[in-house]
C-alpha cells in the first residue's frame, strides 16, 4: 500500500556515496567522440587542455559506481537530500487515480540541479591545481551554479553569457557576480571567435553555440584555466545521478515504485540524473517502466533531429559527438522563452532514445506555461519554464489515467524553481508568448 505521507525526506547520512554510471547497462553503448581534425576517436590526452584528468577518466569509464569524494559530499549536505513530494494538490485538481511524485531540485542555493555537477567539477579542477574556470551560460542557471561552486573552492570564474540573456536577465548576472564570477556578454571582444562575430555584427544577440566556442578558446590559452560545461557530457550526467538514487530510496519510503519516469531535456543532464538509476530495472530485470523525455517543440532535438555525429559548438571546435542534433548552426526562435535551447543532446540519452528504451515528446510553450500555472496553483512551487515541460508531460499521463482508470505511479523531475523567470510568466500572462 502506498504511504499516506506527502513529503518523503531522507537524512543526511542517506545521501548517495557513489554516482551511478549507466553505460555498462546500455543495450548499445554510445559511440566514442571523434577528433574534429583527425576524424579518429579521441583519447584522454586530447581532452587534457580542456578538462582535469579526474573528469576525463569519468568521461570514459565503464565502472558502474564512482565514489563521491568527501569534500563534494560535504557540500551536497548543504542542500541534499532534496525532497520527493507527492503532488496531492495536483492529483486532486486533475481528478486522476494516478499517484504523482516529483523530485525537487530547486532547493539548491543556485535554484536548480546544476549545483550537483558544478560542485563536483570545481572540486576535481581544484584538486589538480587549476585556479580558474571558463564556461558559458545561456539563461544563466549553469553560470550561477558554477560561480557558486568556484566560490566554495576559491577558484576564479569567467562566464561567457549569451548577449540576449545578459541584457534581459540582470538578476542571474547579479547572482554570478555575488558569487564572485566575471561575466562577459557573448560574443565578447575577449576572444578571436567573439571578435570575428562582432566585426560582422556588432549587435549580435549571441547563442549558446557561440558562447561555448568562446569559453573553449579561453581555457587552453592559459596555464591556470580549464573549461567546464553544465550538461551533455558523460561526467556531467554521472554527477546528476544523486537525484535518481535518492528518489529511489524515497519511493521505497513511499512504499511505491514508478511506472512512468518523466523529465525535461535541454542537454539531458537532469533527466539522466533522475532516470538512469532506474534503467537497469527495465533493461536487465525486464520491469515495465516507461521513460519519457520532454522537450520544447521550438527545439525538438530528440523528436525531430537526426542521429549523427555533430559538433557541440557553432565554431566547430569541439569533438564530434554522436547524438540527436538539429545541426550546430541551429538557433531557436527568439520568441521562445522556455529554455532548453541546445541543438544537441547527451550521447548516452540519444542512444537510449534511438534504442527505444526512452520515449521522447515535444510541447509548445503556451501549453507548457499553462501547466506551470496550474501546478503553481495546486502545489505552490512556481516551477522553472524548463521543468514545466516535465509537468506538462506528467499531467497528460495523469489525465490518460483518468480516462482508463489506471492507477499508475508517475515520477517526474522538477529541476528548478522559476523565481528568476517571472518575466517569462509575465509575458505569458500578457499573451506575448506564441508557439
Ligand X SMILES: *Cc1c(COP(=O)(O)O)cnc(C)c1O
Pairing of strands 290-296, 358-363: parallel
Q: Give kind and range of the element (H or E) at residue 263.
A: strand 260-264
Cis peptide, bond prior to residue 81, ω within 30 of zero? yes
Q: Is 267 in the site for ligand X (CB under 6 A)?
A: yes
Closest contact distance (angstroms) between CB of 307 and ligand X is 18
Taking the least distance from each CB to ligand X, the nearer of 157 and 265 is 265
Distances (CA, A) of 415 to 6, 13, 63, 185, 318: 19, 23, 27, 26, 27
The C-alpha cell at 385 is 519554464
Q: Are 156 and 150 in contact (CB under 8 A)?
A: yes
Q: Does 266 bind ligand X (CB under 6 A)?
A: yes
Residue 326 CB, shortest distance to ligand X, in Å, is: 15
**Interacting span for ligand X (CB under 6 A) from 33-41, 87-95, 183-191, 379-387:** 379-387
Does residue 387 belong to the site contacting ligand X (CB under 6 A)? yes
Q: Which of 96, 126, 137, 231 binds ligand X (CB under 6 A)?
A: 231
**Residue 165 binds to ligand X (criterion: CB under 6 A):** no
Q: Cell numbers at residue 245, please?
A: 538514487
Minimum distance of ligand X from residue 268's CB (angstroms): 5
Q: Any contact of residue 22 with ligand X (CB under 6 A)?
A: no
Question: Of 135 and 387, which CB lies nearer to ligand X in the complex structure?
Answer: 387
- Nearest distance, CB of residue 2 and ligand X, angstroms: 27
**What is the closest distance, in whole angstroms, from the C-beta atom of residue 205 to ligand X in the complex?**
19
**With the C-alpha atoms ordered 336, 337, 342, 347, is the resulting torsion angle positive or negative?**
negative
Applying CB under 6 A, among 269, 314, 318, 371 the residue interacting with ligand X is 269
Please give the grid coordinates belonging to residue 297.
Answer: 517543440
- Binding residues for ligand X, rule CB under 6 A, total 18
Q: Cα separation of 219 and 226, whole Å?
A: 5
Q: Which of 269, 297 has the CB closer to ligand X? A: 269
Contact present, 225 and 252 (Cβ < 8 Å)? no
DSSP, collapsed to helix, strand or coil, labels residue 253 as helix
**Nearer of residues 142 and 324 to ligand X, judged by Cβ:** 142
Instruction: List, in sequence order, every residue forming a beta bridge with 362; answer none if it has no partner.
Output: 295
Q: Which positions from 324 to 363 touch ligand X by CB under 6 A, shown as an x/- string? A: ----------------x-----------------------
> Site for ligand X (CB under 6 A): which residue of 15, 66, 119, 264?
264
Which CB sits closer to ligand X, 319 or 344?
Answer: 344
The region of 258-266, 303-311, 358-366, 393-401 touching ligand X under the rule CB under 6 A is: 258-266
Count how many residues are written for the chain. Answer: 435
Smallest distance, ligand X to C-beta of residue 69, A:
22
Backbone angles phi, psi at 405, to 5 degrees: 80, 5
When binding is defined by CB under 6 A, the residue of 148, 159, 181, 265 that contacts ligand X is 265
Note whether 234 binds ligand X by CB under 6 A: no
Q: How far is the CB of 250 from ligand X (least distance, A)?
A: 20
186 touches ligand X by CB under 6 A: no
Handedness of CA 16, 22, 24, 27 (dihedral sign): positive
User: Within 189-228, which residues bind ligand X (CB under 6 A)?
Assistant: none
Q: What is the nearest approach in angstroms of ligand X to the Cβ of residue 321?
A: 14
Tell me if 336 sits within 8 A of 299, measured CB to CB. yes
Q: How far is the CB of 342 from ligand X (least distance, A)?
A: 8
Look up residue 332 and give its three cell numbers.
531557436
Q: Does 244 bind ligand X (CB under 6 A)?
A: no
In the chain, the N- to C-terminal Cα span, in Å, equals 42
Cα 110 to Cα 131: distance, rounded to the nearest angstrom: 21
What is the spatial distance between Cα 64 and Cα 74, in angstroms, rounded to a whole number? 23
Q: Does 141 bind ligand X (CB under 6 A)?
A: yes
- CA angle 60/62/64 to nearest 5° reads 130
Q: Calculate Rg over the CA atoms of the chain.
A: 20
Residue of the chain from 384, 394, 424, 433 that contacts ligand X (CB under 6 A): 384
**Region from 28-36, 153-161, 261-269, 311-319 binding ligand X, contact rule CB under 6 A:** 261-269
Closest to 39 (Cα-Cα) out of 322, 383, 355, 372: 322
Task: State the minimum distance, in angstroms, from the CB of residue 4 to ligand X.
Answer: 30
> What stretch of H or E contains 367?
helix 365-379
Of 256, 310, 245, nearest to 3 by C-alpha is 256
Which residues in this chain contact ligand X in the complex, by CB under 6 A? 112, 114, 141-142, 231, 264-270, 340, 384, 386-387, 415-416
Amino acid at each position: 500500500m502506498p504511504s499516506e505521507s506527502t513529503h518523503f525526506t531522507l537524512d543526511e547520512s542517506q545521501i548517495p556515496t557513489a554516482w551511478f554510471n549507466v553505460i555498462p547497462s546500455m543495450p548499445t553503448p554510445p559511440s566514442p567522440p571523434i577528433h574534429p581534425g583527425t576524424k579518429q576517436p579521441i583519447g584522454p590526452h586530447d581532452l587534457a587542455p580542456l578538462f582535469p584528468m579526474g573528469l576525463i577518466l569519468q568521461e570514459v569509464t565503464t565502472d558502474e559506481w564512482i565514489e563521491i569524494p568527501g569534500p563534494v559530499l560535504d557540500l551536497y549536505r548543504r542542500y541534499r537530500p532534496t525532497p520527493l513530494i507527492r503532488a496531492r494538490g495536483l492529483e486532486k485538481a486533475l481528478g486522476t487515480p494516478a499517484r504523482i511524485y516529483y523530485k525537487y531540485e530547486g532547493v539548491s542555493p543556485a535554484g536548480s540541479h546544476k549545483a550537483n555537477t558544478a560542485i563536483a567539477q570545481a572540486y576535481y579542477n581544484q584538486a589538480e591545481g587549476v585556479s580558474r574556470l571558463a564556461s558559458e551560460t545561456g539563461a544563466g542557471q549553469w553560470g550561477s551554479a558554477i560561480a557558486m561552486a568556484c566560490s566554495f573552492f576559491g577558484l576564479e570564474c569567467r562566464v561567457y553569457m549569451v548577449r540576449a540573456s545578459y541584457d534581459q536577465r540582470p538578476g542571474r548576472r547579479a547572482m554570478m557576480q555575488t558569487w564572485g564570477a566575471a561575466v562577459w556578454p557573448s560574443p565578447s571582444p575577449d576572444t578571436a571567435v567573439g571578435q570575428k562575430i562582432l566585426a560582422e555584427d556588432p549587435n549580435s544577440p549571441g547563442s549558446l553555440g557561440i558562447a561555448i566556442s568562446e569559453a573553449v578558446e579561453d581555457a587552453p590559452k592559459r596555464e591556470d584555466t580549464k573549461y567546464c560545461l553544465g550538461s551533455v557530457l558523460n561526467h556531467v550526467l554521472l554527477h546528476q545521478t544523486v537525484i535518481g538514487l535518492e528518489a529511489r530510496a524515497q519511493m521505497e519510503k513511499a512504499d511505491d515504485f514508478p511506472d512512468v519516469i518523466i523529465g525535461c531535456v535541454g542537454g539531458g543532464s537532469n533527466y539522466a540524473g533522475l532516470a538512469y538509476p532506474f534503467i537497469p530495472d527495465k533493461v536487465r530485470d525486464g520491469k515495465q517502466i516507461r521513460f519519457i523525455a520532454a522537450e520544447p517543440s521550438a527545439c525538438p532535438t530528440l523528436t525531430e533531429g537526426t542521429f549523427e555525429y555533430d559538433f557541440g559548438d557553432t565554431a566547430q571546435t569541439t569533438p564530434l559527438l554522436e547524438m540527436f542534433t538539429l545541426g550546430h548552426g541551429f538557433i531557436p526562435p527568439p520568441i521562445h522563452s522556455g529554455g532548453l535551447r541546445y541543438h544537441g543532446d547527451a550521447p548516452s540519452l540519444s542512444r537510449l532514445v534511438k534504442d527505444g528504451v526512452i520515449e521522447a515528446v515535444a510541447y509548445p510553450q503556451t501549453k507548457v506555461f499553462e501547466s506551470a500555472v496550474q501546478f503553481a496553483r495546486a502545489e505552490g512551487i512556481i516551477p522553472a519554464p524548463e521543468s514545466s515541460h516535465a509537468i506538462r508531460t506528467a499531467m497528460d499521463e495523469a489525465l490518460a489515467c483518468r480516462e482508463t482508470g489506471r492507477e499508475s505511479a508517475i515520477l517526474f523531475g522538477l529541476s528548478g524553481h522559476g523565481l528568476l523567470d517571472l518575466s517569462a510568466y509575465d509575458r505569458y500572462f500578457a499573451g506575448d508568448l506564441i508557439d
